[in-house]
Amino acid sequence: MAPQQGKRLKGTQIFRPFIYGTTALPFHPLHNPKPPGVPDDHTHSWTVFVKGIDDVDTTYWLRRVQFKLHESIPNHVRMVEGEKGKAFVLHETGWGEFEIAIKLYYVPESSEKPQTLYHHLRLHPYGRTEEEKEIMRTTNNGQVISWSYEEQLFNEPYESFYEILTSGALPAVPPKGGKGAKEKLVRSAGGVLERSAMIPLVNRPGQMFSRETEQVEIKKLKEAMIKIEEMARKTKDEVEKKEKRLKELKADSAKG
């Protein structure tokens, strides 16, 4: 752990959004031919990664990432060092699904301990219904995408690390003008450029997490809540009817 720089900023929290997960594609003679040397029983190529939301650089706060794969895979513990402007990526091939432990190592200036995330590698289409699985089979060029959105929270960071977190930084892919475009840099009251933790307004190819996605999920949750409340009301009515009938039967039995 690096020496503490300055003091912690009490009552201050800084968060940075990022994405982690896997993308898999079955081998196919035309669309995804199997490379030479790949074992015969391997059916898919797949990638596990950690990257910034909207491809914004993360290496100013994330130093390296350790991917712990299944023990049957040679050299199953892999360490990926950060390269400015690039995602933390690991490419592999295989035939089975398993849980991947993803350990995040922060830059020395943070004085933060490593944190571990867990992600299940998906090679085959998945979903709650067959319809959802079929949609996954026919979209994204046959890729099986299993991504998760996360927010890294730094609670009461040290002064020196706070300066690193809030200093100016350009995104890896400059935003384009037009509908849904937004600045990746914001200015503080003092006019100093700060790193933005803002989430894109709308989805675009390769970026499925945005305010648009958030609103869709909120709508689904509201619809689910309405269904649950309706089911609870119906269940309550049925219980009350049965309790009433039970009392009637008891009363009739007492008279007899």
- Same domain flag for 23 and 105: yes
- Same domain flag for 147 and 227: no
Angle at 66 between CA 100 and CA 73, to 5 degrees: 50
170: in domain: no
- Same domain flag for 105 and 20: yes
Residue 43 tokens, joined: 């059916």
Report which of 40, 163, 166 is spatially closest to residue 94, judged by C-alpha positions.
Answer: 40
pLDDT of res. 172: 43
Tell me the chain's radius of gyration from C-alpha atoms: 25
Instruction: Please give the tally of structural domains in the chain.
Output: 2
- Same domain flag for 50 and 117: yes
Size of the chain in residues: 256
18: in domain: yes
CATH number for the domain harbouring residue 44: 2.60.40.1970
CA distance 82 to 57: 10
113: in domain: yes
Is this prediction's pTM over 0.85? no
Distances (CA, A) of 201 to 2, 164, 204, 209, 212: 37, 26, 10, 9, 6
- Do residues 150 and 17 lie in contact, with contact meaning Cβ atoms separated by under 8 Å? yes
Give the DSSP letter string of 161-172.
Answer: HHHHHHS----S
Q: Please, is 24 exposed, middle or buried when counting C-beta atoms within 10 Å of its C-beta (0-12, 13-18, 19+)?
A: buried
- Same domain flag for 141 and 225: no
139, 158, 177 - which closes a domain? 158
- Same domain flag for 36 and 129: yes
Amino acid type, 70: H
Q: What is the domain range of residue 61? A: 13-158
DSSP H helical ranges for 71-143: 130-138
148: in domain: yes
pLDDT of res. 221: 86
pLDDT of res. 81: 97
pLDDT in tens, the chain (256 residues): 455 568 999 999 988 989 999 999 999 999 899 999 999 999 999 999 999 988 888 999 999 999 999 999 999 999 999 998 899 999 999 999 999 999 999 999 999 999 999 999 999 999 888 888 888 888 888 899 999 999 999 999 999 999 888 885 444 444 454 443 333 333 333 443 345 566 766 776 667 777 777 777 788 888 889 989 999 999 999 999 999 988 888 888 887 6
- Same domain flag for 73 and 144: yes
